[in-house]
Amino acid sequence: MKLILAITKENEKIIYEVCKENGFETPQVLTGVDSLKRFAIQELKNLNNYKQIIIDVDSTKESEEEIIQSIVAIKSMYNIRVIVVALGHEEGDRLLSKLFNEGIYNFVNAKTYYEQKEQFRNCLSAEGCQYKDAIRFRQKAEETKKNKVIVKKEYKTLKQFVNIAVAGTEKHIGVTTQAILITIFLKSLNMNACYICSTDKDEIKNIEILEGVTKKDNMYSYRGIDLYSNTNKIDAMQYGYDFYIYDYGTLNENTLDNFLSKEVKIVVGGTKVWETDETFRVLSLLEKIPEVNYIFNFSSDEEKAKFKRTLRGIVKNIFFSEYTSDTFNDNVNTEIYHEIFKDYIAEKSNKIEVIEKNSIFNFLKRGKK
């Protein structure tokens, strides 16, 4: 596994020398990176194997802000040490000061070859350079504004018109919450998704009492989510959603066939002592259907460990839900849902967004206080 990655055009020799002389790992050196920003967007997912990345800021012709955005994006996405090479730059250099303000403390900026090698050695050491070592690069707070850099992943659908079945081992086990959370998760990735209540009681109609709910053409809309009742689910078909999430309530002989007919099958269950009889009833019912995903709610660490041991070799896809009191939370179980839907969605690209500390948006925001 490579631990050091270097991006430079003219300083390849000194990097190799320092690593060899000090017993560091042999670095992988990239000399053909013309755009640091494009590298940050396209290669972020390929940096897992590296512990340190050396970035020669003079190897790119990009603007100061683009360099800062790219470095901060890399630093924020991975637990990786960033070493900035800026040979000959003064300690009062604006770019280095801004990078220091963003939490970058490993700099190589000396003018002589000997001093440069010494700085490299310190940066690549086990501890690296700390705040106190780099404080000389700091400028006054009013001179250096810290921006917030957000890396947003963009996704694409691999299949269209995907039907998702969500059913529970018993009543009040959290099926509706999971179904809506899944809908919100897919919507957060800019997928076209809707929730369909497929229970006999058609309880989705109760949503009308919530403030902010709108109803149009037999469809409810709340916080950006389209919701259909059982009697109007046929109306959802004409809109051509990418994903249809069906809430079947309790899984039994009345709902089993519909549940099994869907491409993605999710069972919501419990691990408490009083819930396990129904959980194992459903496990037995679906024992010959290996592609079923099981999500368990409200499980303690002890219950999680016990169930994993009990179901090892029997059930392939076991997940434990995070707790949320907000059914419409868009930041719950994201890792679980990414795993469940990995065959249906794929990462398309990364997008870097910058919120400037002194932007007019923040100025207006302050004015409202």
Question: What are the residues whose beta carbons fall under 8 Å from the beta carbon of 31, sequence distance 6 or more?
Answer: 8, 9, 12
* Per-residue model confidence (pLDDT) at position 146: 53
* Per-residue model confidence (pLDDT) at position 369: 40
Backbone angles phi, psi at 199, to 5 degrees: -95, 160
Confidence class of residue 361 from pLDDT cuts 50, 70 and 90?
Answer: very low
Rounded to 10°, the helix 113-124/12-21 angle is 60
* Per-residue model confidence (pLDDT) at position 45: 62
Q: Tens digits of per-residue pLDDT, 308-346?
A: 888 888 888 999 999 888 888 888 999 999 999 999 998
Chain position carrying tokens 């250096």: 144
Q: What is the mean pLDDT of the chain?
A: 84
Confidence class of residue 36 from pLDDT cuts 50, 70 and 90?
Answer: confident
Question: What are the residues whose beta carbons fall under 8 Å from the beta carbon of 254, sequence distance 6 or more?
Answer: none
**pLDDT (average), residues 247-272:** 94
* Per-residue model confidence (pLDDT) at position 329: 85
pTM of the model as a whole: 0.58
Of 34, 27, 22, nearest in space to 6 by CA:
27
Report the C-alpha gap between 138 and 91 in whole angstroms: 8
**pLDDT (average), residues 67-72:** 87
* Per-residue model confidence (pLDDT) at position 288: 86
Of 279, 269, 254, 165, nearest in space to 201 by CA:
254
Q: Who wins on pLDDT, 24 or 46?
A: 24
Backbone angles phi, psi at 31, to 5 degrees: -105, 0
Residue 177 CA: distances (Å) to CA of 60, 248, 268 = 49, 12, 10
DSSP string, 283-351: HHHTTT-TT-EEEEES--HHHHHHHHHHHTTT-SEEEEPPP-S-TT-SSSSHHHHHHHTTTTEEEEEEE
Report the C-alpha gap between 261 and 284 in whole angstroms: 18
List the domains of the chain with CATH numbers: 3-150 (3.40.50.2300), 159-343 (3.40.50.300)
**pLDDT (average), residues 53-63:** 89
Q: Tens digits of per-residue pLDDT, 260-290?
A: 999 999 999 999 989 999 999 999 999 889 8
* Per-residue model confidence (pLDDT) at position 356: 54
